Amino acid sequence: MQKSNIPFNKFYKSFNYISIFLIIFSLSLLLFKGLNFGVDFKGGTLIELRSLDNSLTISELRKSFNNLTLGDVLVKKFGKDNDYVVKFEKKQSVDENFIHNIKAELANDVGNIFEFRRVESVGPKVSAELLKSGIIAIALSLGAMLIYIWIRFEWQFSLGAIAALFHDVIITLGFFSLFNFEINLSIVAAVLTIVGYSMNDTVVIFDRVRENLKKYSDIKINEITNISINETLSRTIITSLTTLLALLSIFIFGGAILKGFSFAMILGVIIGTYSSIYIANPILVRLKVSQKTVIKEDREIN
């Protein structure tokens, strides 16, 4: 394969504007529209049920659930044709039997044609704790990454990497807000993996930037980053592709439960790959990183 020579650095500015716009857009979405938290984080009950009667329509099902006085009930199709997911904000009930009662009343109303495939019921106290530990986990991993990069690189690099991470997390969440996708425990896992992946990608390019800075004393950082991105480009593309292949396979064949999770990851891999090129590197240029930055560090170590 011929070594690529794409002038990435020519578009630093324009892509930065796009990113800044996307971040502001995402932040305002998060601020004004908010996220669609699932039962894990908001509390409430989720029932996945399968209807054994093909003629049952979703509006009939919706109607009979509304008759149960459970408050706001959301009924949606889920995966296969006769599968539905039903969500409501049943506050922590005194009554341990409420699922049992729902079953009985449904059987009464439309007939005994349901198979309850999954029930998740989370009390408000537990959901608040889960949300808190999710936020702590994301904050801690960002912190731990920052420290690791700080130890392995110079501060300019760690700033660049962390900016890229925040960029990825904010835009991914913004996307979830825009399309009203549900945030549950597995999305937190996805976001953390995105953090790891994006960091991974950034580190590979940064390693090359550092190496090239030491090698060429007369080339400006703007050009150095461009050379490094090009040198590592085929790896970036191959790894993103194989990861995306695996994720697409989960997204298409992995069943309805993993859809949101794999979608977040696919989004994250794309945004993460983009940000290691167009967020992390321009920051090195802005911070005027030079040969001195990396040589000084070496001397301190020796």
Partner 1 sequence: MLYFSKLKIISVIIFTIILSYFSISNFTKFDDNIFNRNINLGLDLQGGSYLLLEIDNTPVIEQHLQNELIQIKNFLKDKNIIYKNINITDNKTISFEVDNQFIDSTVSLFEGKNSEINPYYDQFKTNQFDLLVNDNNIELSYSKYGLVQLKSSSQNQAIEIVRRRVDEIGTNDPNILKRGNNRILVELPGLDDPDRIKNLLGKTANLTFRFITQNEEESFGTEKLSFQDETAEAIVSKRIILSGDNLIDAQPRMDNQVNQTVVSFNLDRVGAKKFAKATATGVGKKLAIILDGKIISAPNIVEPIIGGSGQITGDFTFQSATDLALLLRSGALPAPMKIIEERTVGPDLGQDSINAGILSLIIGFVLVVLFMIAKYRIFGLIANATLVSNLLLLIGILTLFEATLTLPGIAGIILTVGMAVDANVLIYERIKEEIKNEDNKVLAFDSGYLKSRTTILDANITTLIAAIILFAFGSGPVKGFALTLGVGILTTLFSVYFIARLLTSLYVIKNKNKEKLI
Tell me the closest approach of the beta carbon of residue 263 to partner 1, in angstroms: 12
**Residue whose tokens read 């690529």:** 4
Q: Quick one: which segment of 56-64, 167-175, 261-269, 282-290 binds partner 1 (CB under 8 A)?
A: 261-269
CA angle 194, 195, 196 (to 5 degrees): 90
**Which of 68, 244, 270, 287 forms a contact with partner 1 (CB under 8 A)?**
244
Q: Quick one: which segment of 12-20, 51-59, 180-188, 288-296 binds partner 1 (CB under 8 A)?
A: 180-188
Q: Quick one: which segment of 6-14, 60-68, 141-149, 287-295 binds partner 1 (CB under 8 A)?
A: 141-149
Judged by beta carbon, residue 29 or residue 261, the one nearer partner 1 is: 261
Judged by beta carbon, residue 23 or residue 258, the one nearer partner 1 is: 258
Alpha-carbon distance 88 to 173, whole Å? Answer: 23
Contact between 242 and partner 1 (CB under 8 A)?
yes
| Footprint of partner 1 on 39-68 (CB under 8 A) | 48, 50
CB atoms within 10 A of CB 162: 21
Alpha-carbon distance 45 to 161, whole Å? Answer: 39
Contact between 118 and partner 1 (CB under 8 A)?
yes
| Footprint of partner 1 on 22-41 (CB under 8 A) | none
Alpha-carbon distance 202 to 278, whole Å? Answer: 10
Residue 299, CA distances (Å) to 37, 209, 237, 290 in order: 50, 18, 35, 15
Q: Which residues pair with 76 in a beta bridge?
A: 85
Q: Quick one: which segment of 6-14, 21-29, 94-102, 213-221 binds partner 1 (CB under 8 A)?
A: 94-102
Contact between 106 and partner 1 (CB under 8 A)?
no
**Which of 117, 150, 166, 219 forms a contact with partner 1 (CB under 8 A)?**
117
Judged by beta carbon, residue 29 or residue 173, the one nearer partner 1 is: 173
End-to-end CA distance of the chain: 38
Contact between 166 and partner 1 (CB under 8 A)?
no
Alpha-carbon distance 129 to 257, whole Å? Answer: 22
Task: Classify residue 44 as left (phi > 0), alpha (psi -120 to 50) or beta.
Answer: left
Longest dimension (CA), the chain: 82
Judged by beta carbon, residue 220 or residue 235, the one nearer partner 1 is: 235
Tell me the closest approach of the beta carbon of residue 286 to partner 1, in angstroms: 23
Tell me the closest approach of the beta carbon of residue 13 to partner 1, in angstroms: 28
Both structure tokens of 37:
């938290």
Tell me the closest approach of the beta carbon of residue 67 to partner 1, in angstroms: 21
Judged by beta carbon, residue 112 or residue 249, the one nearer partner 1 is: 249
Contact between 235 and partner 1 (CB under 8 A)?
yes
Handedness of CA 22, 24, 25, 26 (dihedral sign): positive
| Footprint of partner 1 on 181-210 (CB under 8 A) | 185-186, 188-189, 192-193, 195-197, 199-201, 203-204, 207-208
**8 exposure class (CB count in 10 Å sphere: 0-12, 13-18, 19+):** buried
